[in-house]
Chain A
Amino acid sequence: DAGVIQSPRHEVTEMGQEVTLRCKPISGHDYLFWYRQTMMRGLELLIYFNNNVPIDDSGMPEDRFSAKMPNASFSTLKIQPSEPRDSAVYFCASSRPPRGKRDQPQHFGDGTRLSIL
């Protein structure tokens, strides 16, 4: 089975530019999560979707960030305009719905390392 696929793996761009990160979850996974990892704040959730619907976006830092999931196999995280403080590794993860009490673990992509100059 293919895992969670993220692209690009690395992105370097100048501040003020629009950045789009992409994620393809594992087929059959109804939950999709976007996390950000920085040295200062560690790993933190930005937003998550269930059946393509955003459920909790309280972690999205500000209006410059937006995320969409137009279908079950694709999601994007967009930053416009980008700023140097947005530099981080962005992870996408997906998981199945629960089966009774049995938890379904989250599977992570390899992340996108974003550098804003």
Chain B
Amino acid sequence: AQTVTQSQPEMSVQEAETVTLSCTYDTSESDYYLFWYKQPPSRQMILVIRQEAYKQQNATENRFSVNFQKAAKSFSLKISDSQLGDAAMYFCAYRSGWDSGSARQLTFGSGTQLTVLP
């Protein structure tokens, strides 16, 4: 079974600064997908960014980027120019590849609560 670990229960960052959230995972599969979801106090689950394991290039979405280290099974999220609206719980998630015959569901980490300080 796959596991996802987020070792930082809480993080804080000054507005306009950069912060990196850590995530590691364990899997024996070669084909999979990784995601970062954001959950603000409204409790919506919002997809922030995703990475296909077969792609070597790190995904970027505006101020959000990832550092995907496949050999190390590490998938960190970098938020640049942090804004007050970035304050939320961030979840790292894993999903098996479609060819693996494994489950389709997301396996989530325990989350990192990000506070943005004005």
Interface check B11, CB cutoff 8 A: no
Q: Which residue of A lies closest to B37 (CB)?
A: A108
Size class of the B contact interface (CB-based, 8 Å):
20 to 34
Count A-B pairs with CB separation below 8 Å: 59
Size class of the A contact interface (CB-based, 8 Å):
20 to 34
Known: A42-B108, A43-B91. A103 touches B44 (CB 8 A): no
Q: Which residue of A lies closest to B54 (CB)?
A: A101
Interface 9-mer from B14-22, B62-70, B80-88, B98-106: B98-106
Interface 9-mer from A15-23, A48-56, A62-70, A78-86: A48-56
Residues in chain B near residue A95, CB distance under 8 A: 104
Interface check B78, CB cutoff 8 A: no
Judged by DSSP, the binding face of B is loop
Q: Which residue of B lies closest to A113 (CB)?
A: B43
Interface check B60, CB cutoff 8 A: no
Once the chains bind, are A56 and B54 in contact (CB under 8 Å)?
no
Residues in chain A near residue B95, CB distance under 8 A: 103
Interface check B45, CB cutoff 8 A: yes
Known: A98-B98, A101-B54. A108 touches B105 (CB 8 A): no
Set B47, B108, B110: member contacting A105, Cβ < 8 A: B47
Interface check A106, CB cutoff 8 A: yes
Once the chains bind, are B50 and A105 in contact (CB under 8 Å)?
yes
Interface check A45, CB cutoff 8 A: yes
Once the chains bind, are B104 and A103 in contact (CB under 8 Å)?
no
Instruction: List 16 additional A-B contacts (Cβ < 8 Å) besides A35-B106, A101-B52.
Output: A33-B104, A42-B109, A42-B111, A43-B106, A45-B105, A45-B107, A56-B105, A93-B106, A103-B52, A103-B95, A105-B35, A105-B47, A106-B47, A108-B45, A110-B42, A110-B44
Taking Cβ atoms with an 8 Å cutoff, the residues of A that contact B are 31, 33, 35, 42-45, 48, 50, 55-56, 89, 91, 93, 95, 98, 101-103, 105-108, 110-111, 113
Closest 6 CB pairs of A and B: A108-B45, A98-B98, A43-B108, A45-B105, A103-B33, A42-B110
Taking Cβ atoms with an 8 Å cutoff, the residues of B that contact A are 33, 35, 37, 42-47, 50, 52, 54, 91, 95, 97-98, 103-111
